[in-house]
């Protein structure tokens, strides 16, 4: 796709998303007038989605080392240079709405859910990392870890439509790769084994569901459409569409869905609980 057509496509997506966010925010302001000044700062007073996202990240991560206004300008410049971040953010927001039964709209994850917010901070840090502005990228990582309790190395590569639910204690290492439409719950680690160097972190294919507290360690591949049970420790590659569980994890069945990350079905074969 030519660059101008690609930009127009991203612009159309962002405009559609922005119209939905503004409409939802006005509805909130009408129901709760005391929220209107805050909504004006966050959404209603902003020019577009990129402007609102820059303000959000500036307000969340601003501090003594990097003032909120300067950070907002930095994020705006990064978004202007790399518009694909907006496409990813659009897909991430819709993933929250579509996969989380407690999320009725798009404004809720944008304003309140640290899984979405931390992931967008990572996307900015990752762009800075790729541009060899590594000290600045690490500063954003550090602030994000302090604020959200989410530690994603700026070198990690993360696809679009990623849903990080609850998000507390998420750790994703430098050489990890997360594909499109993956769902990750709290206390998940995509880490190294502690003795490797170089390319040492997991590669998670598209539409994988990773249950709460699971640890995936080492430069291993988790195949497309797989499911990892809560609390599992995964040390070996996982075949596509397999369900794994346990410590250490083993294959306990095949996924009944081609996209467990979209269905958010965390159930395991009944015999697992029986110890068979």
- Which pLDDT value is given to residue 11? 64
Tracing tokens 């979405």 back to the chain, one arrives at: 116
Check pLDDT > 60 for residue 70: yes
The fold adopted by the segment(s) 1-150 is: 1.10.3130
8 A C-beta contact, residue 212 and residue 228: no
pLDDT tens readout for residues 125-171: 999 999 999 999 999 999 999 999 999 999 999 999 999 999 999 99
pLDDT tens readout for residues 198-256: 999 999 999 999 999 999 999 999 999 999 999 999 999 999 999 999 999 999 999 98
Check pLDDT > 60 for residue 175: yes
**pTM for the complete prediction?**
0.92
- Which pLDDT value is given to residue 196? 76
8 A C-beta contact, residue 210 and residue 115: no
- Which pLDDT value is given to residue 110? 98
Check pLDDT > 60 for residue 2: no
Record the tokens describing residue 165, joined without a space: 């639910």
Check pLDDT > 80 for residue 85: yes
pLDDT tens readout for residues 86-135: 999 999 999 999 999 999 999 999 999 999 999 999 999 999 999 999 99
Band the pLDDT of 194: cuts 50, 70, 90. confident
Band the pLDDT of 271: cuts 50, 70, 90. low
| Sheet containing strand 177-178, strands side by side | 157-158, 177-178, 203-204, 221-222
Check pLDDT > 80 for residue 32: yes
- Which pLDDT value is given to residue 9? 55
- Which pLDDT value is given to residue 38? 97
More confident residue, 173 or 5: 173
Q: Which CATH class is domain 156-276?
A: mainly beta
For the chain, the domains span 1-150, 156-276
- Which pLDDT value is given to residue 7? 47
- Which pLDDT value is given to residue 10? 57
């Amino acid at each position: 796709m030519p660059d101008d057509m690609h930009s127009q496509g991203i612009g159309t997506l962002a405009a559609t998303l922005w119209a939905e966010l503004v409409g939802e925010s006005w509805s909130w302001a009408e129901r709760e007038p005391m929220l209107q000044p805050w909504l004006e700062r966050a959404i209603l007073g902003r020019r577009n989605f990129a402007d609102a996202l820059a303000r959000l990240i500036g307000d969340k991560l601003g501090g003594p080392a990097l003032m909120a206004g300067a950070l907002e300008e930095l994020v705006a410049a990064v978004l202007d240079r790399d518009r694909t971040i907006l496409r990813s953010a659009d897909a991430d927001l819709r993933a929250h709405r579509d996969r989380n039964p407690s999320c009725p709209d798009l404004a809720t994850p944008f304003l309140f859910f640290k899984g979405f917010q931390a992931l967008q901070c990572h996307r900015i840090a990752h762009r800075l990392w790729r541009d060899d502005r590594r000290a600045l990228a690490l500063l954003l990582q550090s602030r994000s870890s302090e604020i959200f309790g989410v530690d994603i190395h700026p070198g990690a590569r993360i696809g679009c439509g990623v849903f990080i639910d609850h998000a507390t204690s998420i750790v994703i290492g430098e050489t990890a790769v997360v594909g499109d439409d993956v769902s990750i719950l709290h206390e998940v680690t995509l880490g190294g084994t502690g003795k490797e160097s170089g390319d040492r972190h997991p590669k998670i294919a598209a539409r994988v569901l990773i249950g709460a507290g699971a640890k995936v360690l080492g430069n291993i591949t988790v195949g497309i459409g797989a499911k990892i049970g809560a609390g599992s420790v995964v040390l070996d590659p996982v075949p596509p569409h397999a369900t794994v569980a346990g410590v250490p994890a083993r294959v306990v069945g095949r996924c009944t869905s081609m996209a467990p990350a979209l269905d958010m079905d965390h159930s395991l074969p009944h015999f697992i609980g029986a110890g068979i």
